[in-house]
Structure 1
């Protein structure tokens, strides 16, 4: 064996010894890191599966409660919703709270329903959901509360910028009408009519409210052009609805919804 081969073998042995020494020194750390990565991935996947499974279960429970409500079994629905509020996953408990408040209103328990909406309005961090709760509570207060009760809930939402501004304006206008503040009610209804994003059905309903104010002599009989058009549409719709079947058909006009001082569902936002 040549001298070069001997030196080469010695070098290889030394390198092998050093590698074995390094491995013995750092192997626990390498293996530990690998185990940690596997554990983290497993935990993350398990957590994701757990939440997905819980979310699916909560969805089924909420759907079951909706079916019970549609079937008229409100007591069973309340029990189902209470369980979902206590143990539901994700956002389902919040949805259940909204639905429970709606069931209370449907049962005629207005004070309890308003309290439930107020609790949501005071606790939710999401601005839109908080505004929705306040508008729903304010709508229920139109019949049972004072103008101040309604204003305290929807007054700030009626300003420009909120997606629910027109629902808030309608509730506020009805409360103002009930309180005898006809000028303020007119302003609230006009604000909805003049909003370019207002749906035609909502605009017609505001026109009906204005027509009612005009017929009572509560406001001046000189509405602006767009208000007059909406009011005329509402009046024409009422007249056409009252026309006997044997009479000649009247020209088609947009249907106007009848006013409801206490809508059970949230009014259209636009």
Structure 2
């Protein structure tokens, strides 16, 4: 059966429909712009102002960092030469708000206080840095170590242990320094077993320098009896010597007596 042919579209009708469609779209755009155009202009203006402000702030931050870097380097050189103004510069930088140089200056200022004999004030300054979560972790840990070293003689051993225990772990980069201080605090507190166990662990660590491992093995043997002595000997099988018997025990005992107290306080 043949299909009925579709009549051809009238060109005039097509033009008319197109003009109606275009007029409708134009009315929509005009209505949208009338209703929201001013708001869009304000938003675009605010964005451009904010972007310009960010660029200005970024430029000012870079300039401030460069200025503090120059001041910091100059102050460090001045301290080496005994320049009194250099200390004022360090204290000014310590009160600044540029991360990095401000934090380093706070540590140096605390060390200067310790050098002057103001140990308690220096400890307080170090602990302020250690408690400041805005400071990067390595500097906070360093502040904790220095505060504990200054406070070792007069503070209760258990407080030293509590402060340094998180750093005296095998996976900590401060394991050697903090571990020796914690073990010495254990000895000061009369807990030889805990000290020997920590010394034995340090002797077994391949991440510590050989000299420190050897010293830890000697102290483990001196304070921990046969079990810790055997651990220390096994830990040194990679070639580092131990002193688990005879004259070595006597030397280790002398070293253990010295380990019961930390080095005298001083700014580092």
Regarding TM over 0.5, the answer is yes
1:205-250 per-residue CA deviation (whole Å, 9 max, x = no partner) reads: 435x629x74xxx554782323584435xx99xx9xxxxxxxxxxx
Structure 2 partner of 1:62: 72
1:54–1:88 Cα contact (<8 Å) kept = no
CA distance in 2, matches of 1:262, 1:177: 17
2:126–2:146 Cα contact (<8 Å) kept = yes
Q: Unaligned stretches of 5+ in structure 2? A: 1-11, 252-257
- Do the aligned partners of residues 198 and 68 (structure 1) sit closer, same or farther apart at CA in structure 2, a change above 3 Å counting? same
TM-score under structure 2 length normalisation: 0.66
Corresponding position: 1:196 with 2:206: yes
Cα displacement (A) at 1:112? 2.0
Structure 1 partner of 2:57: 47
CA distance in 1, matches of 2:186, 2:129: 25
Structure 2 partner of 1:223: 229
Cα displacement (A) at 1:144? 4.0
TM alignment of 1:116-155, pairs within 5 A = 116-124=125-133, 128-155=138-165
1:42-93 per-residue CA deviation (whole Å, 9 max, x = no partner) reads: 11101111111122222222222322332234x5343222211223313432
TM-score under structure 1 length normalisation: 0.65
CA distance in 2, matches of 1:63, 1:178: 41
CA distance in 2, matches of 1:168, 1:61: 33
- Of 173, 187, 202 in structure 2, the residue corresponding to residue 163 of structure 1 is 173
Structure 2 partner of 1:244: none
Root-mean-square deviation (Å): 4.2
Cα displacement (A) at 1:116? 1.4
CA distance in 2, matches of 1:230, 1:108: 40
| Paired positions, count | 235
SS at match of 2:173: coil
Corresponding position: 1:93 with 2:102: yes
Larger radius of gyration: 2
Cα displacement (A) at 1:34? 3.6
Corresponding position: 1:206 with 2:216: yes
Structure 1 partner of 2:91: 82
Q: Unaligned stretches of 5+ in structure 1? A: 240-257
SS at match of 1:87: coil
